[in-house]
Each structure stands twice: as structure tokens, then as C-alpha cells.
Structure 1
Amino acid sequence: MTILVTGATGTVGRSLVDQLLEAGHAVRALTRDPARADLPAAAEVVRGDLTDVTTLAGAFAGVEAAHLITFSGEFGDTLTNGPEIVDALVAAGVARVSVLGGWDTSTVEPALDAAGVAWALLSPTEFMANTLGDHAEAIRTTGEVRAFDRGRASPAVHEADIAAVALAVLTGAAPTGREYLLTGGETVSLEQKLAAVSDATGQPITLTRLSEAQARADLTAAGLETEMIEFTIALESDPPVVGSQPVGTVAEVTGRPPRTFAAWARENADAFRAVPG
């Protein structure tokens, strides 16, 4: 079975490529820059860009199932050309699709519905890998995390567990026609995340809690746009109910408990280790 993985160089995509190969499937990995992809040699790495449908016909040819993302890999913008992407995969005869969704519905999901494609939506509440982008540089360089933190705890999900659910959908082990809300098996606060990273690296990490005014100043100085600043403050001040508690989807689909944040921290410890001075 040949399966196309878009977003193949992302955290979920890389894990999905690995898991599909391990399960014995032929994998075609889509990336804008194959020379820099650094994917397993067993994967067929092809050049393509979801924002440019003219690059996709060859990528979909001969593919039986495809994993799609709903955002541009370069800037993270929500895709606006969903109907064109879906037309290309339908023309190629792709039979099953998993979709890694974002905060909002893109043009991809309704286009799949309109085309009658068998597909399922993967909806992670929070990625464990977000900790890399949010805090790794500060931990490496200063050993201190400055954050607007009111103790919010959330059940972040390991990217490999997201990939495992995608694999089940793509190979027919899990049904299409539904949304899979994905969480980890435990709620973890920022303080607990940093403790896990500290244990994994053997290095102390200080959490400095900022006032709302201090956080706004830090986020502004970091170059965040106003909309993202407001989102960050609101997420901590008034966290959404959906996704605030663990759900059993990963265990239901894979037959095993979700991976823990402590395990994720051990796997990614090198990304947080102090920079030699």
C-alpha cells in the first residue's frame, strides 16, 4: 500500500513516515525541499507544495491513501485552495485520507465532504512538541522560563500518538467519517513540564511567573502580533473547556495508553541542554 504523507518534515509527519515504514507500507513524503528533508532512505521523498496544486499531480499518482495538513508548511497559514487539492487527489484515485486539523476549519475539510472522499479529522488539543518552540531556546541559553502562568494544566498529546491514529485511519484499522479528539493521558502544568525537562537533562530550570502586563511587554518585544498576544493571555486567563481533560481516543484506536510527557522530555532532552559557555 502506497501512502502519501504531507507535512512530512514536521513532528507528526516524521513520526508517521517512520511508523508507516515500520508497518511495511510504501511511503511517499511530500516536502518543499527534498535535499533538506533528512527522512529515512526507505521513503520516496518528492518535491511539492500544498499551496501550489500544479506540484501535486505526480505526488498523488499511484497513491492509495494520503495524510493531509490544513496549513502551509512555510508560514503556517490556513490553506485556501482545499477544493483544488481535493480535485487532484480524487483524480488520482486516492481512497482514504487523514487530515491533521488546526484551530479552525480550513477549505480542505468541506472539499473532502463535497467530493465524497472517505476521510477522518485528527484534532489534537495541544502538542507536547509545542514545548520546543515555546521554551527550548530560553532553557538552553538561560535556564529560565518567563511566562504568564496561572497554573493551567492540559493533556498535551505526543506527536507519535497523533501519527499512530493517522496510521490506523490510513490503513483501515480505524474508521473514517469521524473526528478524533486527541489528548495525552494526563493533565500537565507548565511547572510539571519544566520539572520533567529538568529531570531529563539533569539541569535546573527556573520558572519566573509574569504579571499580565509583564507578559504583554515580553511578547511584544519578541515580535508577536497583537492577535497572538491576546490569544496567549486568554488561553491562560480563561482556558477552553474542550480539551482541558484527557479523552481516551489514543487508547481506543491504538490499544495502548498514550505516551507521557516525561517520556517525551527524555526523548527530546538534547534540544533543551544548556549551550556551553
Structure 2
Amino acid sequence: MEILVTGATGNVGRNVVRRLIEAGAGVRALTRSPHTAELPEGVRAVAGDLTRPDSLADAFEGVDRMFLFPVAETAREVVASARRAGVRRIVVLSSGAVTTGFDTVFHLPVERAVEESGLDWTHVRPGEFAMNKLALWGPSIRAEGVVRDPNPDLAWYPVHERDIADVAALALLEDGHHGRAYTLNGPEMLSYRRQVELIAEAVGRPIRFEVVSRDEARENYRRQGGFAAANADFLLGFEDYSGGAVDETDSRPLEELNPAADDTTAADPMPTAEAVTGVPARTFAQWARDHAHEFLPD
């Protein structure tokens, strides 16, 4: 069995690679820069770019299963090339926003391309990544021991990237997952303030939560760059999931504009990795301990 992992150097992809290696599978990792990918021993790194389907011929050779990172613009070409090369099973890294109906332009087209290919398929739909908090809050925690955000009481179920990877790896390795879409969340609804408290417990030092205006938070995140800058408008309710500007007179609550946000009254149980793996989902506290060193001062 030879499995191609695309997005192999990302937060989920790296963990998928690790789980497949542990299971004894042959793993090929797609990356734009094979020489700097720092992948585990035994993994064959191959050069390629999902935005350039014509660059993937070598990556597909001899592969029968694939973990697909979502690139909507080229999904149909990539899937068609994979099918011609002999790939028979594709597991898609999708989004819980497809389940809720918010996402019709980013992940849904990838799901449809795979479903319509005639290949075996499974969709893995995580909700809010716990890792987003490292990207958003890490710089200010490391530098000042503070998180600045306008919404201390907004809450959701942040999911550990290793739970996402465990489900994807099982769908790649085992039969019985064809035609399934697994929506994954963390096991606990936690407010932003409580998440900060759990990170503080993990790193062993106080972290202050400073409530600021939406405009100030947006400027802070834009100055920070990277993920924070790219997603500030959406996370703070200035634009909807599809990137459209939100009318400032729109009276809808933030959770209707941002499906990764909710209030603490919506405490219904949410689906987690346990339904697939049989193992309790990892808590945010565990995630914070796993990444505590990344919140420490440089």
C-alpha cells in the first residue's frame, strides 16, 4: 500500500504522515520543497504543487490512496489525474463549515470533485482548529503575556490536530469509511477566556486577557501578519465565510457570520473523533500542554 499525503508539512498533514508510518504504510509526501520538509525517516518526499496539476505525475506514480489538502481551483484536475494514475481512495481534508452550510466555495467544491470521480471517498470535516489560537495569540503571549480580543465569552469546541489526523489515517488504512463525512470537534465548549486560562496553566505563567474593540483587534492582527492578518476580518465579524463584507448595520450575532464562534448557551453535544477512533477526543487542556513550549518567550 502506497499512500500520498498532500499538505504533508501542514499541521494536520504532518500528523497524518506520522500515523501512517506508525501503521507500517508506505508514505509519499507532497511538498513544494522536498529538501527542507523535515519529514520522518522512511517517508519519500516528492516535489509538486496542487495549484499546478501538471507537476504531480511523479507524485501519483504507484499510489493507490491519497490524503487531499483542499485547493478548490484545481481540485477536478488533480482528482482526474489521480484517477488516471491508479489512485482508488481519496480522503479529503474538508471543513465543518460544509456540514453547517456556510462553506460553498472553499471545501465543498473539493468534496464534490472527489465524489463525482467514482473513487472511494471520505471527507474529514474539522471545526475550529485549536492550532488557530497559537497563530492568533502566540505572538502576544510570548512577547507580553497577554491576549487582546473583543470577545472573551465567545466559545466553541476547538479540536486537536492529532484527532483530525487520526480519523484521516484510519479512513486511509481501513475499509468501511467510503461515503462517510466525519464532522469533528473538540470534546468541550470553551470560551476564549477559558482557553487563555488553560494555556496559562500549561505554560506555568499568568496570561492576561485584555478586552479591546473589534477595530483595535483587527489592527493588532493585521500588524501581526500571517494567519492572523489573513483571517482577522472573518474572525472578528467584518466579513462572512465567503469573504463578503458584512453590513455594519447587520444585527445578526457574530456566531451567524462566523461558524467557528458561538455563545456558551449552545451546549449540545458535538461529534468528535471518538465516534471513529473509539478513543476519547483530546481536550484543549491537552492541546495546550502539547504546545506549551510554543507559547514561551523566544
TM-score (norm 1): 0.88
Give me the whole-angstrom Cα distance separating, in 2, the residues matched to 1:133 and 1:93.
37
Q: Is the contact made by 2:130 and 2:161 (CA closer than 8 Å) also made in structure 1?
A: yes
Q: Which residue of 1 aligns with 2:249?
A: none
Q: Is the contact made by 2:186 and 2:283 (CA closer than 8 Å) also made in structure 1?
A: yes
Structure 1 residues without counterparts, runs of 5 or longer: 72-78
Report the RMSD for the aligned CA atoms in angstroms: 2.4
Structure 2 residues without counterparts, runs of 5 or longer: 96-102, 241-251, 263-267
1:232 matched to 2:235: yes
Amino acid at match of 2:255: P
Q: Is the contact made by 2:94 and 2:124 (CA closer than 8 Å) also made in structure 1?
A: yes
1:184 match: secondary structure: coil
Q: Which residue of 1 aligns with 2:243?
A: none
Q: Which residue of 2 aligns with 1:250?
A: 273
Report how many aligned residue pairs link the two structures.
Answer: 268
Which string of whole-angstrom CA distances, capped at 9 and with x for unpartnered residues, describes residues 152-190 of structure 1? 111111111101110111122441212211101111221
Q: Is the contact made by 2:75 and 2:113 (CA closer than 8 Å) also made in structure 1?
A: yes
Equivalent positions of 1:262-277 (< 5 A) are 262-275=285-298
Aligned-pair distance for 1:253?
0.5
Q: Which residue of 1 aligns with 2:6?
A: 6
Amino acid at match of 1:3: I
Give me the whole-angstrom Cα distance separating, in 1, the residues matched to 2:159 and 2:73.
27
User: Closer, same or farther in 2 for the Cα pair 1:64/1:19, shift >3 Å?
Assistant: same
1:81 match: secondary structure: helix
Which string of whole-angstrom CA distances, capped at 9 and with x for unpartnered residues, describes residues 176-231 of structure 1? 21221110111122112111111111111111011234334434555699994442
Amino acid at match of 1:154: W
Q: Which residue of 1 aligns with 2:93?
A: 100
1:43 matched to 2:36: no
Q: Which residue of 1 aligns with 2:75?
A: 82
2:236 match: secondary structure: helix
Give me the whole-angstrom Cα distance separating, in 2, the residues matched to 1:217 and 1:47.
37
Aligned-pair distance for 1:127?
0.7
1:115 match: secondary structure: coil
Give me the whole-angstrom Cα distance separating, in 2, the residues matched to 1:25 and 1:222.
39
Amino acid at match of 2:9: T
Give me the whole-angstrom Cα distance separating, in 1, the residues matched to 2:232 and 2:28.
37
Aligned-pair distance for 1:111?
2.0
Aligned-pair distance for 1:60?
1.1
Q: Which residue of 2 aligns with 1:156?
A: 158
Q: Is the contact made by 1:48 and 1:55 (CA closer than 8 Å) also made in structure 2?
A: yes
Aligned-pair distance for 1:120?
1.4
Aligned-pair distance for 1:114?
2.2
Q: Is the contact made by 1:156 and 1:183 (CA closer than 8 Å) also made in structure 2?
A: yes
